[in-house]
Structure 1
Amino acid sequence: MRIKKWLLLSAACLAFSATPTVAEETREFSVSTVLSEAFPWGQAAAKWAELVEERSEGRITLKVYPNAQLVSGDQTREFSAMRSGLIDMAVGSTINWSTQVPEVNLFSLPFLMPDNAAVDAITQGEAGEMVFNAIDKRGVVPLAWGENGFREISNSRGVLSEPADLKGLKVRVVGSPLFLDTFNALGANPTQMSWTDALPALTTGAVDGQENPLAVFDVARADRADQKYLTLWHYMNDPLIFGVSKRVWSTLSKDDQSLLKQAAIDAGQWEIKKSRAELEDTLQAIRERGVEVTELTPEQHQAFVDATQKVYEKWTPRIGKKLVDTAQEAIKNR
């Protein structure tokens, strides 16, 4: 009897040990971006996806959907779609998220950040943490910073070197009330429209000018849309933010959360370094296509700063005085 029991027990143990281990679950997540891999913005998302797949050994896949296709081209709906769980993740623009998160309007305040060191002083310091906390409170987990770059202004009429040059200029701007206030303060005639609609409008002369990072001007060949005059005025910078819907975040293990976050940090740092390193070549390519490039003197730059001060009076309370003060202090001490 004892031998029989031993044989049965041995058989059971063998059967148990022969049972295959259940493979870890593989998951795919959607990632929204506004621009494709032809631009640094899209490259940031692609790098994030690459690092996540590599580090998870293929267990986690990020599928990137460029051109705001997950929100039918309406990029201002990206944040709310991610918050509700319709979009899993995004590499998004502070401009596009500003209607849902007033604090990110900080980066659209005119002439707040004169250079990259000022941008870094904000994003990598207390002010950046305050912005991330504001995003987190609204249903999206912010993981890391990327870069869309300083937005410069171009037009078809002539050189822009002082506020008076913008008087009556029809300028295409993104759908942000702060942008409208800034250009109205400068005497321009701002017109909100999508970039898809902007290029034909610029070509036909229905609109005189536009403002965008140099990489967008270059890849989109804005010079073909009669944009022959470009002014480097650094009037605002649009950092990118790697974010995850809280609904998705809560389903991830602590290890996978750490993996996604570190991959986002590394992808963001890679993209920031790459996009900054390419700026001189991009600017040279633009010049070689016959575009007249104007760089403002300190005195000319200050004239634009002075002309837009009333925008601060209106928007500082909306953004949060403490946040604006913290950012300005960080820039001062950079």
Structure 2
Amino acid sequence: MTAWLPSRLSLSLAGALLAGATLATSVEARELSVSTVLSDAFPWGQAAQKWADLVEERSNGELTLRVYPNSQLVNGDQTREFSAMRSGLIDLAVGSTINWSPQVPELNLFSLPFLMPDEAAVDAVTGGTAGDLVFDAIESRGVVPLGWGENGFRQVSNSRGVIDEPADLEGLKIRVVGSPLFQDTFSAMGANPTQMSWADAKPALTTGAVDGQENPLSVFDVARIDQVGQSYVTLWNYMNDPLVFAANQQVWSSLSDEEKTLLRETAIEAGVWEIKMTREQEADRLAAIEERGVTVTELTEEQLEAFVSATESVYSKWTPRIGEELLEAARADIGTP
């Protein structure tokens, strides 16, 4: 009978194996989801993938970020991304200030028309007092901001003709994102703004349901918007869309100090890398677009001022919603009155 009983040695070995299994489980890699609107064919998606690559490399695989592009985690509705992350359905995101602005009104700062004329102004705002205030506003709503990226300045295109004065927009159906501020901006210039998701935009341009759209050149180039009748592009830099690397607050709280430091440092690094890449590619993208037969119009200062004047009413309506203090801080950062 005793032959069937385990020996002390076998019991010790079993205990060691069990302890080893427990240890292996405790250090098992943790996977966090990362939401983005665009895939890695675009700089936006590449920013998320860069973040994931840096985290995996520096955590030795113990922390993994899985990127879900094309707004998969919110069934294609990009304006729901912030709410989904705040509620815990999404762990991390590289999100657009535009898409998050319905839940964080302060983010509408970046959508105010013609506030930031160039890249230096964008950097002054995101790196200045206004940028700190915006990050505070995001965090107060249950999401922890970690770093900045950039979708770039948004330009307008259409299938009808050259746009170099507000009158050229009169009656044009322009696809805009799901932000009331965009509707007010294009309405002020006489256009007929039509809100729709990016997933619906290209089919609508193909059928002629809308006449035009506004997006950074990177989106126009990679998505080949010229193939759906968009033969005219106007460079007017009317607003810039910074991206925000961020984490759900509960997920953030569950991380160790080392993991928090890793996520924040790699987010900042990925953002710097993506901003530099996006800006360096701009000239080549513009050349490629022109080579495909698209008519590109660059506005003179006088022409640009006509659009600025046409959208002054937007500031009267939106400054109270965004916050006078925040707008003043942004103007001080930029160095404009």
Work out whether the TM-score is over 0.5: yes
Q: Are 1:249 and 2:252 counterparts?
A: yes
Q: Residue 267 of structure 2 aligns with which residue?
A: 264
Secondary structure class of the residue paired with 1:278: helix
For the residues of structure 2 that align with 1:170 and 1:74, how far apart are their CA atoms?
21
**Secondary structure class of the residue paired with 2:230:** coil
Matched, 1:88 2:95: no
The answer on 1:209 being equivalent to 2:212 is yes
Amino acid at match of 1:291: V
Q: What value does the CA root-mean-square deviation take over the aligned residues?
A: 1.6
Specify every segment of 5 or more residues in structure 2 that has no aligned partner in the other structure, as ranges: 1-11
Q: TM-score, normalised by structure 1?
A: 0.93
CA displacement, residues 287-329 of structure 1 (integer Å, 9 cap, x when unaligned) = 0000000001111111111110110010000000000011011
The one of 104, 120, 125 aligned to 1:122: 125
- Match of 1:230, SS state, is strand
Identity across the alignment (%): 70
The superposition leaves residues 166-211 of structure 1 with CA deviations (integer Å, 9 ceiling, x where unpaired) of 1111101111100000000000000111222222222222211100
Q: Is the 2:76–2:199 Cα contact (8 Å) retained in structure 1?
A: no
Tell me, what secondary structure is at the counterpart of 1:31? strand
Residue 144 of structure 1: aligned partner: 147
**Cα distance, 1:56 vs. partner?**
0.4
> TM-score, with normalisation over the residues of structure 2?
0.92
What are structure 1's unaligned runs of at least 5 residues?
A: 1-11
What secondary structure, in the 3-state scheme, does the structure 2 residue paired with 1:238 have?
Answer: strand
Secondary structure class of the residue paired with 1:250:
helix
2:72 aligned residue: 69
Q: Across the two proteins, how many residue pairs are aligned to each other? A: 319
Query: 1:22 maps to which residue?
Result: 23
Residues 310-321 of structure 1 correspond to what in structure 2 (within 5 A)? 310-321=313-324
Q: Please say which of residues 190-199 and 240-249 is displaced more in the overlay.
A: 190-199
Q: Does 1:34 align with 2:37?
A: yes
> Within 2, Cα distance between the matches of 1:328 and 1:302?
18
Instruction: Tell me which residue corresponds to 1:3.
Output: none
**C-alpha distance in structure 2 between counterparts of 1:71 and 1:296, whole Å:** 38
**2:54, 2:266 within 8 Å by CA — same for their partners in 1?**
yes
Letter in 1 for 2:23: V
Find the counterpart in structure 2 of residue 53 from structure 1.
Answer: 56
Match of 1:322 in 2: 325
Aligned match of 2:288: 285
SS of equivalent residue, structure 1 residue 122 = helix
* Corresponding position of 1:218: 221
